[in-house]
């Protein structure tokens, strides 16, 4: 059983996103959570191609790639940790492709604009989000946090906490940044605490 899935979107081996996700998961494990780490660069997968086959098949059946290994982990874990470096005022291309491939969990109705719901909804799912940037100014994060927050909210994840870390570029530099690592640990504890609570009785996340 997996309680929490950690997803790192850095293309760099031993990057800061890896270290931050690991710190979040370690703190959650100390609270009794079973965790699993996914480093997206280790999976060969492509972006959503908009084929819409998932509307009928209720799964991504067009692209038989590394995402097929991640989908079962995501479905099993009620907790999710997303950590991405900031690339050009946004999340990394790896993280964007991962989030776009969650499109297969939507159910759409006919009509324009289409009303939709998520098959991940109503399961008490919780998430924490973090990003790391070289620059010092908050504005240079651009839309990175929103690019993770809004899609997860559409799948009915409750966002328990968010953490932007600024002023770090060298791969793994965050490992010597005690304050940032402690803030990551706090996110892990908060996520574990939230998951110990009752499962939501909501049946869908939808938009009309």
Q: What is the mean pLDDT of residues 129-133?
A: 97
- Confidence tier at 205 by pLDDT (50, 70, 90): low
Q: Give the count of beta carbons closer than 10 Å to the beta carbon of residue 34.
A: 14
The pLDDT value given to residue 113: 83
Q: Which residues contact 147 (CB under 8 A, 6 or more apart)?
A: 90, 91, 95, 96, 99
Mean pLDDT of 82-94: 98
Q: Is the pLDDT of residue 19 over 90?
A: yes
The average pLDDT across 132-152 equals 96
Residues 161-195 have pLDDT tens digits of: 999 999 999 988 999 999 999 999 999 999 999 99
Cα–Cα distance measured from residue 165 to residue 172, given in angstroms and rounded to the nearest whole number: 13
Looking at residue 200, what is its pLDDT? 43
**What's the count of helices (H) and strands (E) in the chain, helices before strands?**
6, 8
Measured CA to CA, the distance from residue 148 to residue 126 in angstroms comes to 13
CA distances from 150 to 80, 159, 162, 181, 201 (A): 14, 10, 13, 25, 21
> Per-residue confidence at 154, pLDDT binned at 50, 70, 90?
very high
- Per-residue pLDDT, 204: 40
C-alpha 125, offset from chain centre: 12
Number of domains in the chain: 1
CATH of the domain at 107: 3.40.50.360
Domain that holds residue 119: 4-207
């Amino acid at each position: 059983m997996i309680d929490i899935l950690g997803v790192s979107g850095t293309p760099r081996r031993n990057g800061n996103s890896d270290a931050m996700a690991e710190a979040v998961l370690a703190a959650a494990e100390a609270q009794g959570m079973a965790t699993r780490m996914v480093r997206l660069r280790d999976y060969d997968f492509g972006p959503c191609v908009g084929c819409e086959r998932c509307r009928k098949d209720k799964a991504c059946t067009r692209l038989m790639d590394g995402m097929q290994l991640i989908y079962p982990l995501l479905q099993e874990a009620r907790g999710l940790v997303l950590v991405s470096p900031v690339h050009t005022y946004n999340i990394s291309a790896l993280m964007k492709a991962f989030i776009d491939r969650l499109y297969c969990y939507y159910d759409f109705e006919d009509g324009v604009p289409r009303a939709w719901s998520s098959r991940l909804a109503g399961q008490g799912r919780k998430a924490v989000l973090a990003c790391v940037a070289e620059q010092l100014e908050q504005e240079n994060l651009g839309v990175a946090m929103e690019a993770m927050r809004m899609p997860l909210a559409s799948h009915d994840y409750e966002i328990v906490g968010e953490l932007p870390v600024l002023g770090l570029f060298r791969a793994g530099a965050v490992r010597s940044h005690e304050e940032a690592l402690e803030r990551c640990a706090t996110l892990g504890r908060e996520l574990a605490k939230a998951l110990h609570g009752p499962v939501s009785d909501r049946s869908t996340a939808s938009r009309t």
